[in-house]
């Protein structure tokens, strides 16, 4: 074995043994990389069996008691990631925070992949918050902005959420399978700008800034239910207790207690039951 490879493996093993001695079970085959200027705090009752745990320069990663990490955690430079107790990252799901990202995950949250679909919370630039008992089985990309998943809310597998400005999902919200939620057009409507992106190396490199892309915040009020394969586009604010039908394409806001169906979605009054009959 080459000397350099041997020393690299020895370095990884040293990090693993250091965590083991602190009382946190961690699989020895896991790659653990922590820069000397970073802070890594793992509670003694947490377990890590993922493939990679990396923390960049001047970053803070804190994982509370009772966490089960069976996935990848990759933290860039100058980040703050604080995870409360009983967090579960399961079945190869990923938590990825690029440089300068901020993430707060409250108690009893779950990020779980359901084969063959991925589950990932990635913050490229901006911040993300998962409130208590939030359940994420889809993919969230915070390209730049603020993402908020409320308490006791559920995002099912196959769903994609793209946040360029602000996406806020309230409490007790159900988001079904294969839903798309976007707060921007992701690309310019000007064909010349899109052509320039390709010539500059897209999709491997995107050089054009946010000024070329239309964006507006998306908000889902408390107790909203979004049906399978629906799409919610930029600028939409859905009032509390609203229901979005299967395959509906929501392009405008609606008041509380609305039913949205069709493409583009039309707003109809929702007949709510009090649950007593």
pLDDT of residue 148: 98
Whole-angstrom distance, CA of residue 88 vs CA of residue 135: 10
The answer on pLDDT for 277 being more than 50 is no
pLDDT of residue 13: 47
The answer on pLDDT for 210 being more than 60 is yes
pLDDT of residue 74: 95
Domains in the chain (CATH in brackets) are 30-269 (2.160.10.10)
The answer on pLDDT for 51 being more than 60 is yes
Task: Indicate the average pLDDT of the chain.
Answer: 87
| pLDDT confidence band for 276 (50 / 70 / 90) | very low
pLDDT of residue 264: 93
pLDDT of residue 4: 58
Cβ 226 vs Cβ 175: under 8 Å: yes
Task: Say which residue, 66 or 198, is predicted with more confidence.
Answer: 66
Task: Say which residue, 275 or 186, is predicted with more confidence.
Answer: 186
Rg from Cα positions in the chain? 21
Using DSSP, how many helices (H) and how many strands (E) does the chain show? 2, 30
- Residue 206, helix vs strand vs coil: coil
The answer on pLDDT for 10 being more than 70 is no
Whole-angstrom distance, CA of residue 256 vs CA of residue 253: 10
pTM of the full structure: 0.86
What region, left, alpha or beta, does residue 165 occupy, with left being phi > 0 and alpha being psi -120 to 50 degrees?
Answer: alpha
Mean pLDDT, rounded, for 239-247: 96
119's tokens: 């589950």
Mean pLDDT, rounded, for 107-136: 96
Exposure string over 173-203, b if 16+ CB within 10 A, otherwise e? bbbbbbbbbbbbeeebeeeeeeeebeeeeee
User: Per residue in 144-199, pLDDT tens?
Assistant: 899 999 999 999 999 999 999 999 999 999 999 999 999 998 888 888 888 888 88
The Cα angle at residue 125 between residues 122 and 126, in degrees rounded to 5: 95
| pLDDT confidence band for 6 (50 / 70 / 90) | very low
| pLDDT confidence band for 204 (50 / 70 / 90) | low
11's tokens: 């370095």
Mean pLDDT, rounded, for 47-73: 91
Mean pLDDT, rounded, for 135-145: 95
Whole-angstrom distance, CA of residue 270 vs CA of residue 261: 11
81's tokens: 């990631």
pLDDT of residue 274: 56
């Amino acid at each position: 074995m080459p000397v350099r490879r041997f020393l690299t493996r020895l370095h990884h093993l040293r990090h693993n043994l250091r965590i083991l001695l602190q009382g946190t079970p961690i699989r020895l085959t896991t790659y653990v990389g922590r820069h000397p200027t970073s802070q890594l705090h793992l509670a003694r009752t947490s377990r890590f069996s993922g493939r990679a745990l990396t923390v960049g320069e001047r970053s803070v990663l804190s994982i509370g008691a009772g966490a089960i990490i069976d996935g990848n955690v990759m933290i860039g430079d100058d980040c703050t990631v604080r995870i409360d107790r009983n967090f579960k990252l399961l079945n190869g799901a990923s938590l990825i925070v690029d440089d300068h990202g901020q993430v707060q995950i409250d108690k009893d949250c779950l990020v779980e992949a359901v084969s063959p679909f991925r589950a990932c919370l990635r913050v490229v630039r901006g911040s993300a918050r998962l409130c208590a008992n939030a359940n994420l089985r889809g993919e969230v990309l915070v390209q730049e902005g603020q993402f908020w998943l409320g308490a006791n809310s559920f995002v099912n597998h196959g769903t994609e959420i793209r946040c360029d400005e602000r996406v806020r999902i309230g409490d007790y919200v159900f988001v079904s399978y294969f839903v798309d939620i976007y707060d921007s057009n992701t690309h310019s409507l000007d064909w010349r700008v899109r052509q320039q992106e390709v010539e500059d190396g897209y999709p491997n490199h995107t050089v054009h800034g946010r000024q070329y892309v239309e964006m507006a915040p998306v908000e889902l009020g408390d107790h909203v239910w979004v049906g399978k394969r629906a799409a919610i586009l930029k600028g939409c604010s859905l009032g509390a207790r609203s229901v979005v039908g299967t395959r509906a394409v929501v392009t405008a806001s609606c008041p509380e207690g609305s039913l949205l169906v069709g493409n583009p979605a039309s707003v109809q009054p929702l007949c709510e039951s009090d649950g007593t009959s």
